[in-house]
Chains A and B, each alone.
Chain A
Amino acid sequence: MIEQLSNPWIWGVAYGLPLITVLMTIGAFATWWERRFSARMQNRHGPRWVGPQGLFQVIADGLKMMQKEDIVPREADRPLYRLAPVLPVFLVLATAAVIPFSGYWDEAGRWQAALVVADLDIGVLWVLALAGLMVFPIWMAGWASNNKYTLLAGMRAVAQGVSYEIPLVMVALVPVVATGTMSLSGIIAWQAENGWLVYRLPFIGALSFALFFLASLAEANRIPFDIPEAESELVGGVIVEYIGLQGGMFLMAEYLHTAVAAALATALFLGGSHFWMLPLPLYLGPVVFAIKAGSLFVLIYWIRWSWYRFRADQLMELCWVVFVPASLVLVMLTALQVWYEGLV
């Protein structure tokens, strides 16, 4: 059985399917959590009645969405309209395939990653490529809905997504340059042996972590960068013409994207499931990972419910005038640091 599990195809299905299930459940119940969290921030309650502590609210909402009538606007571009909701979820889940959720110290004192669907050598490249593709479904939805508001939102989303990819890619290179490997398990192993990147590199690490965090927020269209779904102006952005479960897929993709972005930030900068020298058993690794990624997730929603949103041109200005030069400088400084430490 173990030999069969080492076959990547079988392992992919045997581990990947439960992982997808877990991620989708997290995505769904994240809505419940967010509603309770934001409610407490706003001096009200949130869902409490449906089920214990309101947990069945998620199921109720899901059922409600599923039983809605499936309407496609008459002038809409049918193939694109149908395809658009499917892609974001697919892309985000694919991104999560390279994240190692656990790890252990083996006999030789090296950190070994575990619980990863596909331990690619080019893990970072895989993640960034898929993140770049995320722009397409949003634009497709905006165009195919045959609605001026969604068109505006789609255009804004494309501009924002494409622009913020650049600092994202640059800053994601900082761990790659510092650790010398592109595979996520390799990066985590390096961090386990040499210290988490967020403090290991003198203030470069913290800055790049913050920049990565913000650029991920921008990619995921979260406040303060959520101009594409600006409720007050564009009444819901690209998903305005989508009904029922199709629209639900977009919303689910949003939550998943933030969860996966938080997971990536922990893997790249916070050491993944590493918990210093404590030799944790394999099953506690995901718990540590969940705590780290979870706190970032909480931070994302905390920001969402406290801050306002940037205007579209201010957003662009922030990216090109602040983020891109900063990310370039950070990569160069990391390279200098590595060279200096190589000398010393």
Chain B
Amino acid sequence: MEVRVPTRPNPHLDIDAYDADADLMALNMGPQHPSTHGVMRIKLFLDGEVIVKAVPYPGYLHRGVEKLCEKLTFVQIIPIVDKHDYVAPMTNEQAIAVAFERTLGIEVPRRARYLRTILAELTRIGSHLLWLGTFTLDIGGTIGGGASVMMYTFREREKILDCFENLTGSRFHYNTHTVGGNRHEIPDGWVDQVKAITALMKIRVPEYEELCTGNEIFNLRTQGVGVVDADLALELGLCGPNLRGSGVDHDLRRDQPFHAYDEIEVNVAVAQGGDCHARYQVRIAELYESIRIIESIIDKIPDGPLSSQRPVKSHLGVKIKTGCHYHSIETPRGELGTYIIGGGDNKSASPYRLKIRPPSLHSMSALPYLLVGHTVSDVVAILGSLDPIMGEVDR
């Protein structure tokens, strides 16, 4: 049994015992707040401005998806699962599709795998752009410098959404993945549109870096704030840029490849330090890496069928194998996994139990550890750097 590191704060501090005189102030960063990334409530116990204990209460966006999915078939599950991480919707669908395909042993044709990789990387760029905008918004002010950066990043994100609209018909929540491949074929001019996006991003991302790290105040607000050491990060189940910002070299795109990542070289960005600045640097580096990956494969999409299965005639077409299966992919937020338990025989089209393993829930569970000892102003910086999306946390 491992010995718990004694400097780790105790998230279950008994406030009544700790503060018998009731001098601490309980402040509710309530469900309605400009900076809590969705509806979330954090109850802070403050000693002056320093936080002694933080208790987050998720669940305001809980829609009972897991119970719902026990009655739905694969075709019906995909649009529902889309709504979890609503900032990076493509990867939600891909997680479910990959889980089903691996369970049933269905092979995805190369064309679909390359297309999925491009979509995943574009989603990663879009998600990190949105993250950068909201992060600087939190640090700088809704009326103030942060808003300027947000306007710029959203302008670029619009181009990515236009690209997706060209492919699938909708800007968000595409329903474009099926078991065995993709549904929407690449239209004419789409490749050029993607190339235009990457060319534009290569100019813009250095500008964003200049606006952020070039500003001394940004560095002051993010360095040394919200430090997660590697052991705590691994124990908590943090993943994605949160884990890599703490120095752990782990990326599912390289370590357990999915889509076309076994044919592409992925350079994983790792930063030491574990503070908000490190996580910010990891995400910026991932932006550059995504641009590079897209550019390297956009011209090499192989020809061929887009799906290895015939289109399903009835929504009961996809059956689930008996037993427990767990498969995951790397989304912009980390490891999004799907744990499926199939029914008694191999003929059931609805899962007996479907659990989504959301990366943001683990990020949020880090809050009681990270917030202790910081001030209220740091709460927004830390929350922003962890990048939780409440749709994913609550499902």
Direct contact of A and B (CB under 8 A): yes
Which residues of A are in contact with B by a Cβ distance under 8 Å?
A: 38, 41-44, 148-149, 152, 223-224, 226-227, 230-235, 304-314
- A309: chain B residues at CB < 8 Å are 139-141, 144-145, 217, 221
Closest B residue to A156 by beta carbon equals: B49
CB distance from A42 to the nearest CB of B (A): 4
Find B141's partner among A44, A148, A152, A232 (CB 8 Å cutoff): A232
* B68 adjacent to chain A (CB < 8 Å): no
CB-based contact B144/A231 at 8 Å: yes
Bitwise, B139-168 to A at CB < 8 A (1) or not (0) is 111111111100110010000000000000
Assuming the contacts A235-B33, A308-B217, asked whether A43 and B144 have C-beta atoms less than 8 A apart, the reply is: no
Report B's interface with A, CB cutoff 8 A.
25, 27, 33-35, 49, 136-148, 151-152, 155, 211, 215, 217-218, 220-221, 375-380
> B25 to A148, Cβ gap below 8 A?
yes
Chain B residues lying within 8 Å of A231, measured Cβ to Cβ, are 34, 141-144
Say yes or no: B380 contacts A233, CB within 8 Å. yes
Question: Which of A42, A149, A232, A306 is within 8 Å of B138, CB to CB?
Answer: A232
Nearest Cβ on chain B to A264's Cβ, whole angstroms: 23
What are 24 of the A-B contact pairs (CB < 8 Å)?
A: A38-B147, A41-B148, A43-B151, A44-B151, A148-B27, A152-B49, A226-B141, A230-B377, A232-B139, A304-B144, A306-B145, A306-B211, A307-B144, A307-B215, A308-B136, A308-B215, A308-B221, A309-B144, A309-B145, A309-B217, A311-B220, A312-B49, A312-B375, A314-B220
CB distance from A60 to the nearest CB of B (A): 19
Residues of B within 8 A of A38 (CB): 147-148
Q: How many angstroms from the CA of A235 to the CA of B137 in the assembled complex?
A: 13
CA distance A311 to B148 in the complex (A): 19
- Rounded to whole angstroms, the CA-CA distance of A230 and B145 in the bound complex is 12
CB distance from A227 to the nearest CB of B (A): 7
A232-B145 in contact given A312-B49, A313-B375 (Cβ < 8 Å) = no
| Nearest CB in chain A: distance from B314 CB, A | 48
| Residue of A43, A226, A309, A310 with most partner-chain B CB within 10 A | A309
Instruction: Provide the residues of chain B in CB contact with A313, threshold 8 Å.
Output: 375
In the bound complex, CA of A119 to CA of B27 (Å): 49
B141 near A308 with CB under 8 A, answer yes
Closest residue on chain A to residue B381 by CB atoms: A311
- Most B Cβ at <10 Å: residue of A223, A233, A308: A308
Query: By the criterion CB–CB under 8 Å, are A308 and B152 in contact?
Result: no
Contact, CB under 8 Å: A312 / B377:
yes
Given contacts A230-B141, A235-B33, A235-B34, are A307 and B147 in contact (CB under 8 A)?
no
Taking a contact as CB atoms closer than 8 A, the residue among B136, B142, B151 that contacts A42 in the complex is B151
Q: How far, in whole Å, are A314 and B49 apart by their CA atoms in the complex?
A: 13
Interface pair B144/A310, CB less than 8 Å apart: no
Q: B217 touching A310 by the CB < 8 A rule?
A: yes
**Whole-angstrom distance between the Cβ of A14 and the nearest chain B Cβ:** 38
Known A226-B141, A308-B215; further 16 A-B contacts with Cβ < 8 A: A44-B151, A231-B34, A231-B143, A232-B34, A232-B142, A232-B380, A233-B376, A233-B377, A235-B33, A304-B143, A307-B215, A307-B217, A308-B221, A309-B221, A311-B221, A312-B377
